[in-house]
């Protein structure tokens, strides 16, 4: 039976957001503030977190800020307790923290890989471990897991990032199975394509080249609209952006080919990209800049249209190639 049909919906007015100091986390906080929610915001950078909180308070929201590192399980457990004390209950917990280390696997220090896994996978597990008992006690709640396109296909030049996102995907599937007997507890995943936030600027960069992302890049507010929508109508998974949908269907047909194409594309980009200093980014410390919502990577409208048309042609060619490969395999059996 469809779980959503058996449930009795409870309005989401008490919201916890980890990774709330910039990007999608900040935009989500501001969106829920505009709906009159009571917010508990967490991130490592207390100063940036307080700036976001002030914006939300001006919109009329009650806000508690909790500076922490979600890799610290005890700190996250205390966050859940502080949220209960402040709000009385927790309706939705948005597990949003994400970091990355860009570079060939052997060129990236192992401690950077480990830090990526601890933040992106273990940190999200800490979030869930802290809040699920709260949901079970109050018999309702929505856990929103920010995954990404990287949870659906391999990510050359960001191996640990992809491993963490694949892990999150399996983790969410396991949680959904375990929560089957709780019709008003929902585990929701969000899989956006590349999003124009400061995250890329904050990533650990071990390539020696300037980082960017291929078009079309999503406006973070589009992702936020999907997250806010989950508060009203929870769903298991939300896919955002044409590249994500393409990968969703293409990966089962030719997973190795898809990763090799990605490796070739990034290799060509790095061969011609401008030089940039090697940096640990925000892996081990909060970023030096205040962040904000937008990363500034999206192109002006005319260039964006050309990039979208070019990307669309590439996707169509990819679909045709994968279809031919699939047909060839079928005839070869």
> What residues are labeled active site?
161
Query: What is the DSSP track for 279-309?
Result: B-TTSSS--SS--BS--S-SPPHHHHHHHHH
Q: How many whole angstroms separate alpha carbon 8 and alpha carbon 327?
A: 46
Q: DSSP secondary structure string, 9-22? A: -----EEEEES-SB
Calpha distance 142→131 (Å, rounded):
10
* Spatial distance between the Cα atoms of 99 and 254, rounded to a whole number of angstroms: 28
d(CA 269, CA 32): 38
**Cα first-last separation, the chain:** 37
The runs of H, that is alpha helices, within the chain are 3-6, 23-34, 46-58, 73-87, 110-117, 123-138, 159-178, 199-202, 220-232, 242-250, 255-272, 301-332
Cβ partners under 8 Å of residue 251, min gap 6: 152, 153, 258
Which is nearest to 175 in space by CA: 3, 12, 7?
A: 3
CB-based contact 90:16 (threshold 8 Å): yes
| 314 token code pair | 């590439």
Query: Cα–Cα distance between 190 and 210 in angstroms, integer?
Result: 27
Cα separation, 266 vs 263, whole angstroms: 5
């Amino acid at each position: 039976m469809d779980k959503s049909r058996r449930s009795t919906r409870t309005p989401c007015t008490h919201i916890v957001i980890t990774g709330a100091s910039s990007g999608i986390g900040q935009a989500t906080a501001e969106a829920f503030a505009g709906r009159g929610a009571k917010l508990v915001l967490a991130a490592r950078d207390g100063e940036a977190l307080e700036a976001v909180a002030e914006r939300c308070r001006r919109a009329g929201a009650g806000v508690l800020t909790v500076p922490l590192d979600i890799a610290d399980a005890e700190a996250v457990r205390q966050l859940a307790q502080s949220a209960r004390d402040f709000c009385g209950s927790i309706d939705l917990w948005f597990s949003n923290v994400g970091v990355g280390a860009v570079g060939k696997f052997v060129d990236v220090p192992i401690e950077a890989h480990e830090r990526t896994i601890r933040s992106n996978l273990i940190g999200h597990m800490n979030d869930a471990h802290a809040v699920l008992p709260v949901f079970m006690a109050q018999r309702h709640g929505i856990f929103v897991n920010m995954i990404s396109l990287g949870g659906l296909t391999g990510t050359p030049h960001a191996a640990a990032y992809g491993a963490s996102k694949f892990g999150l995907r399996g983790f969410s599937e396991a949680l959904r199975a375990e929560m089957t007997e709780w019709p008003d507890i929902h585990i929701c995943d969000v899989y956006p394509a590349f999003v124009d936030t400061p995250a890329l600027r904050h990533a650990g960069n071990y390539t020696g080249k300037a980082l960017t992302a291929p078009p079309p890049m999503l406006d973070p507010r589009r992702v936020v609209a999907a997250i806010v929508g989950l508060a009203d109508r929870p769903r298991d998974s939300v896919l955002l952006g044409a590249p994500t949908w393409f990968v969703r269907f293409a990966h089962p047909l030719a997973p190795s080919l898809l990763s090799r194409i990605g490796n070739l594309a990034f290799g060509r980009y790095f061969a011609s990209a401008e030089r940039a200093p090697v940096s640990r980014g925000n892996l081990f410390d909060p970023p030096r800049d205040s962040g904000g919502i937008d990363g500034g990577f999206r192109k002006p409208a005319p260039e964006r249209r050309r990039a979208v048309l070019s990307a669309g042609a590439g996707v169509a060619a990819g679909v045709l190639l994968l279809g031919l490969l699939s047909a060839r395999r079928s005839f070869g059996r």
